[in-house]
Structure 1
């Protein structure tokens, strides 16, 4: 397993050509992006467990750790996940060797509602994305899936909210994508920081 040091890594050529931060940040943040072209190269169990281990160390309210991850990596498991994806996402995500569903427990251990469960699950997804990228593995979060069908097929309890399906895999040839997606297979940029940061109060 080859792991890149988050603080000494350099920007990849494709990222350097498309992204520039306004302020200094670790290249690990810019190198992470969400491609759709995946190769058929498998992800080792060791690397997959490293990604999930990183997610499990995300911060959470009262350390309740409400995130839940349902992993598909065998042919049978992946087919069930393909069945819950909408048609557009299935055209590219079906190539990924691992799919995982991110959910969160809406209740705390004592049965009280956990108002932070979705926020905390989002933090865990961020850890998944960064750790995968440090291992050279791409990730792409998918919101377009049938949640009720997923709940039924995957035996998900009602007290779990379903947030996203994550495609994990090594980057593949963009030429395998449908024509309309090929030109989008580049790291995207961000709006200026001043548009999302407000000092003291929100600007009118």
Structure 2
């Protein structure tokens, strides 16, 4: 029985499988076409082509550019953003720390989520984390119903000052999950709870 280490890199075109025999240090590389609809299929094809016995694998390392490629090519599932009322366009406005603040002709990338899929709800938390306005649950349910009709596959909930207090975001996620239990929902207070 030979102990083996396997490292896999799933790219947009090819999946590379690197196999190292721990005893001899011998390294082999297999290259197989990637399968974007099911990346695991290409991984298993590469491992099979290399004649690796999975029971001998002591370490498995995986890297991928699948997500990066999806962002670059913009081949993404339909996503939506729910934000605090009045802040729908923050992703278009962006941060104001650019080289030439007054260069209105500077090309900028379009947001990943188009304006029509950026919806707002009534809620507000101040900079210290105090809830000024509880999440309006009727408004939240209205937004959830709209997003369900649009058949979105992922939702980002991004409320102002949620990095200090994510309570309203958590409740919004609960309401969204009641209506769309199979949709992926991320809340900014859990993804990156800080201001930058």
TM-score normalized by structure 1? 0.23
User: Which is richer in helix?
Assistant: 1
Higher relative contact order (CA 8 A, sep 6+): 1
Find the structure with the greater CA-based Rg.
2
Is the strand fraction higher in 1 or 2?
2
